[in-house]
């Protein structure tokens, strides 16, 4: 058994971590930190955990005697938190602070980009993981087999829509109900921060890539989930492309290739990514769906933890079921 801590315990990703970890066969939740709610019961914030986690309360400070800590405080705050964490404690950071290689160090810590389907063996040997972004997870999983086989030979065009939880728990003009309901908007067109992760990954495995990646993200009028649609030039047939994807993901338990069109409810409340491939003229189209809070955040963080501690990769994650109705 290992003991874990969570910093930033009142947010969406922390709530998902707790819900998943209480059913993990190899984990004890030792400390959940919230400066705002310290000494209040965890179910005071995460109401659905009433009766699930006893009377456990939020801590003001992290218990030092833990094996791994999850940083859920939000973007730009992880470096400050790391100053108070023992060097013996492994770290999984859910912010964007260490995902880009030239910003991935803090003192003696060197963070590895934690997409299991990209570099599983390296994750097993790492003590510090930068958990990928939610959009970038879906996008990168859509193109990894192509990049591995040096088949990205033109510009890549992507559109994607995410639920309101992608903006975090803090209230803003664009995530409250009256604005989101019956509404949709594009934002950060061609400028979204997750593009850096996508481009970094492409160049990491296909260093001759010299084209552009165009990304248009949308805010959706639902609470959770991401669907991305990507297209790029391909000289292979649809069947040949499907064979590449099936071969690449055959050892990755959470990525599935569908032969029929997909919809977002297939992955909500799961750690799955489902891909659907189409071919129109000379363009390969890849549709991807994930739950932004699980495969796009907390579930992937647990997947990384399982690899770091040599647990079964699916522990704590395979019991999840999609919500169809």
CB 114 within 8 A of CB 92: yes
72, 134, 210, 273: the catalytic one is 134
DSSP character string of 162-181: E-GGGG-SS--TTTSHHHHT
What's the longest Cα–Cα distance across the chain? 61
Provide φ and ψ at 168, rounded to 5°: 85, 175
Beta bridge partners of 255: 273
Residue 150 CB neighbour total at 10 angstroms: 12
Query: Annotated catalytic, 134?
Result: yes
Structure tokens at 299: 């579930």
CA trace torsion 131, 316, 225, 7 (10° rounding):
-50
CA 146 from chain centre, in angstroms, equals: 21
Show Cβ contacts of residue 188 under 8 Å, excluding neighbours closer than 6 positions.
217
Q: Identify the CA nearest to 20 among candidates 300, 308, 310.
A: 300
Cα distance between residue 86 and residue 227, in whole Å: 38
Residues with active-site annotation:
134
């Amino acid at each position: 058994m290992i003991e874990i801590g969570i910093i930033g315990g009142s947010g969406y990703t922390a709530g998902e971590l707790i819900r998943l970890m209480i059913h993990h066969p190899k984990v004890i939740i030792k400390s959940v930190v919230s400066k705002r709610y310290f000494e209040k019961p965890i179910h005071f914030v995460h109401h659905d955990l009433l009766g699930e986690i006893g009377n456990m309360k939020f801590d003001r400070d992290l218990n030092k005697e833990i094996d791994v800590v999850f940083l859920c405080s939000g973007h730009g705050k992880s470096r400050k938190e790391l100053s108070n964490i023992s060097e013996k404690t492994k770290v999984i950071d859910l912010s964007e602070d260490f995902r880009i290689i030239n910003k991935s160090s803090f003192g003696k810590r060197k963070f590895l980009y934690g997409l299991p389907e990209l570099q599983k063996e390296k994750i097993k040997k790492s003590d510090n993981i930068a958990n990928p972004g939610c959009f970038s997870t879906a996008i990168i999983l859509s193109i990894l087999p192509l990049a591995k086989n040096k088949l990205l030979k033109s510009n890549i065009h992507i559109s994607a829509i995410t639920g309101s939880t992608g903006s975090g728990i803090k209230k803003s003009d664009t995530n409250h109900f009256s604005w989101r309901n019956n509404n949709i908007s594009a934002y950060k067109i061609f400028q979204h921060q997750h593009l850096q992760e996508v481009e970094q990954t492409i160049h990491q495995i296909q260093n001759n890539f010299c084209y552009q990646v165009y990304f248009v993200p949308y805010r959706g009028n639902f609470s959770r989930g991401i669907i991305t649609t990507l297209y790029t030039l391909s000289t292979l047939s649809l069947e040949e492309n499907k064979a590449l994807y099936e071969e690449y993901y055959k050892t990755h338990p959470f990525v599935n290739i569908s032969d029929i069109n997909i919809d977002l409810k297939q992955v909500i409340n799961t750690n799955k990514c489902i891909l659907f491939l189409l071919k129109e003229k000379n363009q390969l189209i890849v549709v991807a769906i994930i739950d932004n809070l699980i495969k796009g955040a907390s579930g992937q963080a647990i997947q990384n933890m399982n690899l770091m501690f040599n647990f079964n990769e699916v522990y704590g994650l395979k019991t999840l079921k999609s919500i169809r109705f």
